[in-house]
Amino acid sequence: MESLRGHLNALNAIVSDNARRREDDWINKGIKTEKPIAEREQELLDRIERAKTSAERDALYLQLAFMLSRQVDVRARDMAGTVENPETRKQAAAFVDSSLVNYFVEKKLSDAALDLVHKGDLTPSHKSWIPTECAKIVADTDNTKALELIDQATAEARRIEPSDSALPRALLAVANALK
């Protein structure tokens, strides 16, 4: 016990007061009861209003976007789009869109997944994979639509650079959808 106290005292001398006072959700996860999502969202929005720099605002918008994407809330796309840094905004949008589309495919929500193919910020391999998965979802009820989706997936796969290692995977996904 004394050894542990010694280690804590040594660490205490290194940690700043700001770090000790921080109330980040990820630090307290499993220790404190979680606040409702609406309350956490409002707290982040309040902090965004008080942010002094664009980098600070971007970090808060990212937290909000990721939190909303975990809740499968399409408003996450709006929050990612609000990030000022163009490269960070692009990466955040791609992450949010791929998270949402993976959920939609998993839950067999083909219309929502296909909507993101057209308006989302997805990689060419995602844009090919999604229609193949949606074709599998609708194949039992609408064979014509399934074939249209396979054609769409094939067209998207052809847009992938021949030197890109994603091309063979995309073409295999199309072939597997034809089973």
Looking at per-residue pLDDT, the higher value among 126 and 8 belongs to: 126
- Is a pLDDT exceeding 70 seen at residue 28? no
Q: What is the pLDDT of residue 5?
A: 77
Q: What is the pLDDT of residue 120?
A: 86
pTM of the model: 0.71
Tell me the CA distances in angstroms from 113 to 3, 20, 78, 171, one per residue in order: 55, 42, 17, 19
Instruction: Work out the pLDDT band at 13, boundaries 50, 70, 90.
Output: confident
Instruction: Work out the pLDDT band at 149, boundaries 50, 70, 90.
Output: very high
- Is a pLDDT exceeding 70 seen at residue 146? yes
Mean per-residue pLDDT for 120-143? 92
Q: With the C-alpha atoms ordered 175, 176, 178, 179, is the resulting torsion angle positive or negative?
A: positive
Is-contact 78 91, C-beta < 8 A? no
pLDDT in tens, 54-110: 999 999 999 999 999 999 998 999 999 999 999 999 999 999 999 999 999 999 999
Is-contact 160 129, C-beta < 8 A? no
Q: What is the pLDDT of residue 20?
A: 60
Instruction: Work out the pLDDT band at 138, boundaries 50, 70, 90.
Output: very high
Taking the domains of the chain in order of start, what are their residue ranges?
A: 123-179
